[in-house]
Amino acid sequence: MDGDVTGRIKCTLANWTGLAYKIPRSYLDKCKDRQDLKQSGVYFLFGKNEDDNDEVYIGQAGIRKNGEGVLFRVAEHLKDETYFSDAVMLTTQNNSFGPTEISYLENRFTNMVIATDRFHVRNGNNPNPGNVTEEKESELDDFVEYSKMVLGVLGYKVFVPLVKADPAVTVEDQEELMLYLSRKGKKSNKTIEVKCMRTNEGSVVLKNSMYRRK
């Protein structure tokens, strides 16, 4: 949106009626004229705590009498919340969310993030899920699945569980997960050695590996 990867990002997907915005805290004021952010929606406020651990607050916002919606609610947090650096807002392209939908989504997202135990959830209370029909629940769960994909693309692994060490893994199992690279540099004539371990987080370069940066 701003021609800058650190600026505002708008995200949609084929066959999805949803709409996502990732807005840095300092850019929120630039979005006040966007009509789709005056709609109902749910939002995530991402930041760090004093110990530099990831935190998130998950909320919902309906349309107010003054015509404002999810962006206005996020902007209200600027007065009291100093921890968050970015906001991700989820709404729809057809303004189809009502109070029931956003209550269900807020509850669903909050419980999912708590279950993954990757981010500290700042919500003080567990949100009320509302009362949705079986058909509506199925529709909203589809929205949740697309939202998980979008937040992952935007760089937030908020729905991905942390990889925990398995006490049952043997030394032999660990060796099978290891990757080794050894080659001699043409110019330096020095041997470059790299050891990696494959994890669910990707390949992790291990301590004491040696490499030459181009």
For 149-159, the pLDDT digits (tens) are: 999 999 999 99
Helix (H, G, I), strand (E, B) or coil at 197: strand
3 occurs within a structural domain: no
Q: Examine the fold and report which residue of 128, 154, 180 is the final residue of a domain before the chain moves on.
A: 154
Whether 207 and 147 map to the same domain: the answer is no
Together in a domain, 209 and 171: yes
Distance CA 151, CA 136 (A): 22
| Burial status of residue 113 (CB atoms within 10 A of its CB: 0-12, 13-18, 19 or more) | buried
Decide if 181 is inside a domain. yes
User: Residue 120 burial (CB < 10 Å; 0-12/13-18/19+)?
Assistant: middle
Residue 26 in any domain: the answer is yes
8 Å CB contact between 132 and 140: yes
Clarify whether residues 40 and 111 are in a common domain.
yes
112, 173: one domain: no
- Mean pLDDT within 36-58: 94
Please report the pLDDT score of residue 213 as a whole number: 44
What is the pLDDT at residue 185?
57
Domain-embedded: residue 4: no
Residue 102 domain-assigned (yes or no):
yes
Is residue 20 domain-shared with residue 84, that is, in the same domain? yes
For residue 210, pLDDT beyond 60: no
> pLDDT digits over 114-134, tens only?
999 999 999 888 888 888 899
Q: Are residues 148 and 167 in the same domain?
A: no
Residue 1 included in any domain: no
Task: For 161-205, write each residue's pLDDT tens digit.
Answer: 876 655 555 545 555 566 776 666 566 666 667 777 666 556 666
pLDDT at position 2: 72
Same domain, 47 and 88: yes
Tokens in use for 19? 């709409």
Q: How many domains does the chain have?
A: 2
Residues 139, 199 within the same domain: no
Pairing relationship of beta strands 120-121 and 54-61 according to DSSP bridges:
parallel
pLDDT value at residue 205: 63
pTM: 0.76
Q: Would residue 139 count as lying in a domain?
A: yes
Residues 48 and 137 occupy one common structural domain? yes
Residue 70 pLDDT greater than 60, yes or no: yes
| Structure-model confidence comparison of residues 209 and 211, the more confident one | 209
Do residues 117 and 162 touch, judged by C-beta distance below 8 A?
A: yes
Instruction: Please indicate, yes or no, whether residues 178 and 145 belong to a single structural domain of this protein.
Output: no
- Residue 212 is predicted with a pLDDT of 47
Q: Is residue 125 part of a domain?
A: yes
Same domain, 17 and 68: yes
CA-CA distance, 155 to 159, in Å (whole number)? 11
pLDDT range class, residue 214, cuts 50, 70, 90: very low
Asked whether residue 29 carries a pLDDT value surpassing 80, the answer given is: yes
Q: Identify the CA nearest to 162 among candidates 105, 110, 113.
A: 113
Q: Give the range of the structural domain holding residue 98, as residue numbers without chain letter.
A: 9-154
State what percent of residues in the chain have pLDDT above 90.
60
Same domain assignment for residues 146 and 185: no
